[in-house]
Amino acid sequence: MAVTLTEKAARQVQKHLAARGKGVGIRVAVKPSGCSGLSYALEFVDELGAEDATFESFGVKVVVDPKSLIYLDGTELDFVREGLSEGFKFHNPNVKGQCGCGKSFAV
């Protein structure tokens, strides 16, 4: 399996990368944050780590560290507009329960 982008998401990433002027792709990760919860994180990638896995979607490199991959395998990232805000949304087949805000989850 893999972690993929929708075409819309990929176009957005490319736009951001171009505006930023540097970077080889986008990193998708799961981060445990102290006493709080698990959450998704999205970052630009300037350098690849030795253990990183990379996937290609519509010409965009998606980078995932091995620990996050356990939780993210099969995830598709979309770019959506909801009301006034717009941003990336995770469709993660591993997720069983999701909290109201959509950023924390239990696998």
Partner 1 sequence: MLLTIQEPTPAAQAVGIDLGTTHSLVAAVIGGKAAVLAGDHGVLLPSVVSYRPDRVEVGHDARRWQTEDPQNTIVSVKRYLGRALDDLPEEFRLPYRFAKREGMVRFETRAGSISPVEVSAEILKVLKARAAQALGNEPGGAVITVPAYFDDAQRQATKDAARLAGLNLLRLLNEPTAAAIAYGLDRETEGIYAVYDLGGGTFDFSILKLTDGVFEVLATSGDPMLGGDDFDQTVCRFLMAQNGIDSLEPVDYRRLLEATRLAKEQLSLDEQVSVEVELGRGKKLSFVLTRQTFEQLTANLVQRTFVSVRQALSLAGLAVKEIQEVVLVGGATRMPCIRRAVAEFFGKLPLTDLDPDQVVAIGAALQADLLVGNRARGDWLLLDVIPLSLGIETLGGVVEKIIPRNSTLPIARSQEFTTWKTGQTAMSFHVVQGERELARDCRSLARFELRGIPPMAAGVARVQVTFQVDADGLLSVSAREINSGVEASVSVIPSYGLSEEEIAQMLKDAFAHAQQDLEARRLSEQRAEAMRLLEAVEVALAEDRALLDEAQFNVITQALESLRTAMEGRDWQAIRNGIEALNQATVEFAAQRMDQSIRRALAGRTVESIAE
Which spans of this chain sit near partner 1 (rule: CB under 8 A)? 13, 16, 26-27, 30, 32-33, 35-46, 50, 67, 70-71, 80, 82, 85-90, 97, 99-104, 106-107
Q: What is the DSSP letter of 37?
A: -
3-state secondary structure of 21: coil
Q: Which is nearer to partner 1, 2 or 29 (CB)?
A: 29
Q: How far is the C-alpha of 96 from the C-alpha of 83, rounded, in Å?
A: 26
Q: Which is nearer to partner 1, 1 or 80 (CB)?
A: 80
Q: Report the nearest approach of partner 1 to the CB of residue 47 (Å).
A: 8
The answer to whether the beta carbons of residues 26 and 13 sit under 8 Å apart is: yes
- Which of 28, 30, 5 minimizes the C-alpha distance to 15? 5
Q: Report the nearest approach of partner 1 to the CB of residue 98 (Å).
A: 11
Q: Which is nearer to partner 1, 13 or 64 (CB)?
A: 13
Q: Which is nearer to partner 1, 3 or 45 (CB)?
A: 45
The answer to whether the beta carbons of residues 89 and 77 sit under 8 Å apart is: yes
